[in-house]
Amino acid sequence: MAKESYVDVLVIGAGPTGLFATNALVKAGVNVKVIDQRPIKVAAGQADGIQPRTLESYGLVERLLNEGNQMHMAAFYNPSPNGGIELTERVPDTTAPTARYPFEVTLHQGAIENIFLDSMAASNHSVTRPCVPTSITISENEKELRDPQAHPVKVVVQNLAPQDGEPDTEVIHAKFVVGADGAHSWVRKALGIKMEGEQTDYIWGVVDLIPETNFPDMRNKCVIHSEKGSCLIIPREGDGVRLYIQLSDKGALDSGTGRIDRTKVTPHKLFEVAQTILQPFTIETPKSFDWWTLYIIGQRVASNFSINERAFIAGDACHTHSPKAGQGMNAGMNDSHNLAWKLVHVLRGWADISLLKTYEAERRAYAQDLINFDKKFAKLFSTKPQTEDDQDGVTHEEVMHAFQIYGLFTTGIGIHYTGTSIVDTKYQSLASGLVIGQRILPQIFLRATDSRPYEIQDLIISDTRFKVLVFVGDTGDAKQRDKLNKLAEEMKGVLSPRAPGGDVSKLFDIMTFGTTKKEKVIYNDVPPFFRTHWSKVFIDDVDTLGKIGGNGYEYYGIDKKEGAIVIVRPDGYVGTIAPFNGTEHLKNYFANFMSQA
């Protein structure tokens, strides 16, 4: 006797990618179920790097900063003329000048999963585990596939620890399925999606430990190129560190399959290699290792990220690469961040189902960039350093150059979506500092009513709404007020017909940003349509100490007289920009992907 159930979205896999998606959907009120094959969540090890972009505006940052370690500097060690290694240079760990948080955070995957699990628990949601999918089928009925309210995906799952009286088999009928089940994704294989790319022969080992050492850079990211091999040090929360250690010995490979054979290596053996690489510095052998693993670097991207925009794959399920640049978990969470709001808009009937095509278009292009970057980066890390005897080796300058030019990429700050229905660059010149298709730049504005400074990213929260940012200029000027009153009427004409149940604020969060100074501004000079609450009116002025704020228009490249209307997508990326006399452009922009108004 199988149980039958119906959900809007079934998420398969409760790692950071799956939990990010689930939590976002739960918070949007979607009927979602998440299953995972593991009986409990991971307790140690696994992914741990959180990039600056991931720290921005997902609502995670408070706990990440409280619980995680911060990496601000990177130290580069190379062969010393006296033997062993020596410090060559220390530089900032991140090179992304617009980043709100100019550092990486490290925190073990279990702690990150906890953030989502706690958030879900507050909404009475949890993971069904251990539970494995055994079959997935998607209806071929065209009409069903076009109807966002149909349940065309059928997934049969086995609940390995059913509650009393519950059958262990469940047939789940889902409107949409998200496969976030990792590099060996069952969903991907079941859907027949191929991975494209290749494997290198670089073998690396990873050990997590608490070090006793005289090495002075154990709390910085360290890139160590020694004649004995390469090692990367990543400090972690508490006193812990992670060492990535290159294995030149191919003895860890199974000669038959070419795969890693973990039984042939121990963490102590890995650690001995690290001790050799770190000389003349000493690091004591710890009593135990918190976690360890071995891997061969491979770079692969899935040929498709969805089947019929009904079953999707995300995270490691659709892209795998080397872990050393700390990208994996971030890429996966960003996949979910990109997908979740689109599912919500389609499920609510606000967007046409074709919006979901933009997921693959945006995220697969990103994944390919990631893989191309990773190939170059992994090679640099895995090549021996140049020495007098070995002129073919990699130089410090080459490593440093790569480290810095890829900074925008590795921080996630440079993510740039182009060529989809939700990115329209027509009026890019009106805000030359805000790149359409990139995330909104951090900047501090004052709230007009109380001069309290706000970081705009804290206003642009992931609440599934489009943000309508009206840069209104000087509202103390009577002529400008006339212009704004006219604009408000026109904007009402654009936004109101799309308002669910007549409530514009369900779909659009409207805020204004003026140029009047805090001593003079009268917030009720802003037309009522643009201020649904006193907290929605902002000004571009310095704070009471004159230390922060006041640079917004200039930084964004917006003219103080002309103003601009900036539309930010629910995931924080700039969707389009329009001039005050360009409300027709906005009408067309929304018509491109929203349901018929």
Q: Could you list the residues that contact its own copies (CB under 8 A)?
A: 69-73, 89-94, 97, 102-103, 214, 216, 218-220, 235, 239, 446-447, 449-453, 518-520, 522-524, 534, 543-545
Specify the residue, 92 or 286, whose C-beta has the smaller distance to its own copies. 92
Cβ atoms of 311 and 173 closer than 8 Å = no
How far, in Å, CA of 506 to CA of 515, rounded? 27
- HEC string of 231-274 equals EEEEECCCCCEEEEEEECCHHHECCCCCCECHHHCCHHHHHHHH
How far, in Å, CA of 311 to CA of 337, rounded? 16
How far, in Å, CA of 477 to CA of 372, rounded? 52
Length of the chain counted residue by residue: 597
Lookup: tokens for 222: 């360290």
DSSP-based three-state secondary structure for 590: helix
Tell me whether residue 286 is one of the annotated catalytic residues: no
How far, in Å, CA of 326 to CA of 234, rounded? 10
Q: How far is the CB of 478 from its own copies (least distance, A)?
A: 16
How far, in Å, CA of 323 to CA of 333, rounded? 15
Lookup: tokens for 554: 């200039």
Point out the catalytic residue in the list 48, 290, 525, 571. 48
Specify the residue, 490 or 543, whose C-beta has the smaller distance to its own copies. 543
Q: How far is the CB of 335 from its own copies (least distance, A)?
A: 29
Lookup: tokens for 459: 């206003």
Q: How far is the CB of 472 from its own copies (least distance, A)?
A: 16
Q: How far is the CB of 112 from its own copies (least distance, A)?
A: 20
Specify the residue, 298 or 326, whose C-beta has the smaller distance to its own copies. 326
Q: How far is the CB of 92 from its own copies (least distance, A)?
A: 4
Cβ atoms of 65 and 232 closer than 8 Å = no
Tell me whether residue 48 is one of the annotated catalytic residues: yes
Point out the catalytic residue in the list 244, 359, 406, 553. 244
Specify the residue, 282 or 354, whose C-beta has the smaller distance to its own copies. 282
How far, in Å, CA of 350 to CA of 159, rounded? 35
Q: How far is the CB of 443 from its own copies (least distance, A)?
A: 14
Q: How far is the CB of 508 from its own copies (least distance, A)?
A: 22
Specify the residue, 6 or 534, whose C-beta has the smaller distance to its own copies. 534
Specify the residue, 22 or 515, whose C-beta has the smaller distance to its own copies. 515
Q: Which of 539, 186, 222 lies closest to 381 in space, CA to CA?
A: 222
End-to-end CA distance of the chain: 45
Lookup: tokens for 2: 């199988």
Point out the catalytic residue in the list 16, 235, 323, 453. 323
CA dist list (Å): 266 to 22, 47, 226:
37, 20, 22
Specify the residue, 182 or 549, whose C-beta has the smaller distance to its own copies. 549
How far, in Å, CA of 244 to CA of 83, rounded? 22
Which sequence positions are flagged as catalytic?
48, 236, 244, 323
